[in-house]
Amino acid sequence: MDISAPQSRADSRKDRWCPGERCLAPSLDNKKLCEASIKSITVDGNGKPFAVVLYPDFQEKTIPLQRLQEVKSTKDYSRSLIFDDKDLEKPYFPDRKIPSLASAFQLSEDGDSIPYTINRYLRDYQREGAQFLYRHYIEGRGCILGDDMGLGKTIQVISFLAAVLHKKGTREDIENNMPEFLLKSMKKKPPSTAKKMFLIVAPLSVLYNWKDELDTWGYFRVTVLHGSKKDNELLRLKQRKCEIALTTYETLRLCLEELNSLEWSAIIVDEAHRIKNPKARVTEVMKAVKCKVRIGLTGTVLQNNMKELWCVMDWAVPGLLGSRIHFKKQFSDPVEHGQRHTATKRELATGRKAMHRLAKKMSGWFLRRTKTLIKGQLPKKEDRMVYCSLTDFQKAVYQTVLETEDVALILTSSQPCTCGSGQKRRKCCYKTNSRGDTVRTLCLSYLTVLQKVANHVALLQAASTSKHQETVIKRICDRVFSRFPDFVQKSKDAAFETLSDPKYSGKMKLLDVLQQYCMASGLDYRRLDGSTKSEERLKIVKEFNSSQDVNICLVSTMAGGLGLNFVGANVVILFDPTWNPANDLQAVD
């Protein structure tokens, strides 16, 4: 509705206005009249009255009183002045055709349901997942959603939250999220449901991805409890002005006492396999959170051994699998003994029975579906192992490492000792080298060194994770440098001329080498690693997924392998596989 329209509106103007009243005010671009609420009334230096009005999207504007008009009482009149209700529906995907399904999905007879705005985009197994979470929430107990990576655990959680928070995904949610004084001025009753608050704990790398997904799929009142503003957000939580709080494992540890003073409807933990060590600080903190309904999300609940499974389940449903000793005796030991290559038929049978009993015991509290559910809707995945030969320079450096006394000690450690005792050398006279380092320690250190050389010789100069390893590498470097006086220049040449830049520090990571390659080749790329700020990570992912010009994203497995959706990629190259295959699998899927 244009303000300049010839239609007279003198009859709809008022002489007196009060804070809290609804009115028709010029929109922010001054092209239309739209519904707003008067927040306060002020007078300028000339005595001219102005109103500070609050729009539905919570933006404010100062407007002269004479430009305000009264809202007519005709039903739906004010709505037509702003936009159609369909324009406000969430989620909204402009590049996707809206599915024809337009009905809510009932979760209970009490009326809790997934709104039609979300339900129309869900697959059947995702509705089942939301039902699973809802059932455990209503019964006041925890559970684990252990679906494969890529099956949409996040959207299943959001669907569940939308149901229990009575969201509609429409204009109604916007109005319900307004402050109570505005609702009263609009002659609307505040929502009758008791205020619920949910705590979502996630790694920092995906914290803002959760915020983005919640904003995409509905009108949730979300606060991010992290960084310098966490004290202000804690105050908002204590005033119960939020429905969902997002935080990290570290912030939870720092603010545990204050967060425990609040009443949480449920705590939802992303990447719950982090709670795998009963003696770790993170496990102690998570078990100290005061909340009965504990929901864990993980695609790899078991990474190394079955004790990790017990630890995660004991956090979500304390006592379900008994004590750690009981679990070890009844489940862990029989299964692991039955998996040995030397297992007898009896041990195999006992292991299978123990596994069946464990699966039956967990079935009501642990839900896992694999990608076979949607294999017909996914392109065929092809795995290739590409072997890259070492350069002549790499071979020379590699051979130099193999010729060290320490490697000779490692390679002969399993041979009979020269003293004639009959024991292996590493358990008799050759337990350590001349510097007191054990064979086991040397083995791990030199494996890391050889891995660096195989990836790129320039990495041999990189800072290591431990002081002992740095000492070993320095010792090797001295030997390499004595054999190759021009090693530094050769390694720079091998990593492209750009590495000879004066800013080059001599300490680099593998991603630095790959980045220099992209720069030297003129490729448009993005980089995401542990140093990337959490706010920037989401921006990088969006740019990579949406831009046709950005074809490469350099990502460290630990930083980008958790919860970030690189849907724009159809090829994943694991240049430096980790020792734990589960980490790489998490990143690929």
List of long-range contacts for 53-57, beta carbons under 8 Å, 24+ apart: 53/23, 53/25, 54/182, 55/25, 55/27, 55/28, 56/82, 56/174, 56/175, 57/174
* Mean pLDDT in order along the chain per 10 residues (589 residues): 37 62 79 78 80 77 84 47 59 74 84 90 91 94 89 94 91 75 64 76 87 91 86 86 91 91 93 88 91 90 82 91 90 86 88 90 90 70 82 85 86 86 84 83 83 80 62 72 66 43 42 77 75 72 72 70 60 74 64
What gap in Å lies between CA 543 and CA 553, rounded to an integer? 10
User: pLDDT at position 52, please?
Assistant: 84
What gap in Å lies between CA 280 and CA 91, rounded to an integer? 39
User: 185 vs 23, 53, 162, 308, CA distance in Å?
Assistant: 10, 13, 26, 55
User: pLDDT at position 587, please?
Assistant: 60
Q: Residue 300 contacts by C-beta under 8 Å, 6 or more apart in sequence? A: 149, 273, 582, 585, 586
User: pLDDT at position 100, please?
Assistant: 65
Q: pTM score, two decimals?
A: 0.67
User: pLDDT at position 352, please?
Assistant: 92
| Phi/psi of residue 3, nearest 5 degrees | -70, -30
User: pLDDT at position 428, please?
Assistant: 86
Amino acid code (one letter) for 225: L
114: helix, strand or coil? strand
User: pLDDT at position 249, please?
Assistant: 92
User: pLDDT at position 264, please?
Assistant: 93
Instruction: List the domains of the chain with CATH numbers.
Output: 10-83 (2.30.30.140), 105-323 (3.40.50.10810), 379-507 (no CATH), 524-589 (no CATH)
User: pLDDT at position 499, please?
Assistant: 34
Residues 80, 171: contact at Cβ < 8 Å? no
User: 178 vs 27, 71, 85, CA distance in Å?
Assistant: 19, 18, 17
Q: Residue 358 contacts by C-beta under 8 Å, 6 or more apart in sequence? A: 321, 331, 335
Among candidates 561, 543, 539, 563, which has minimal Cα distance to 552?
543
What gap in Å lies between CA 338 and CA 351, rounded to an integer? 5
What gap in Å lies between CA 154 and CA 176, rounded to an integer? 24
Residues 228, 254: contact at Cβ < 8 Å? no
Q: What angle do CA 268, 269, 275 make, to 5 degrees?
A: 145
Determine which helix (DSSP H) or strand (DSSP E) holds 232, and give its type and residue range.
helix 230-238
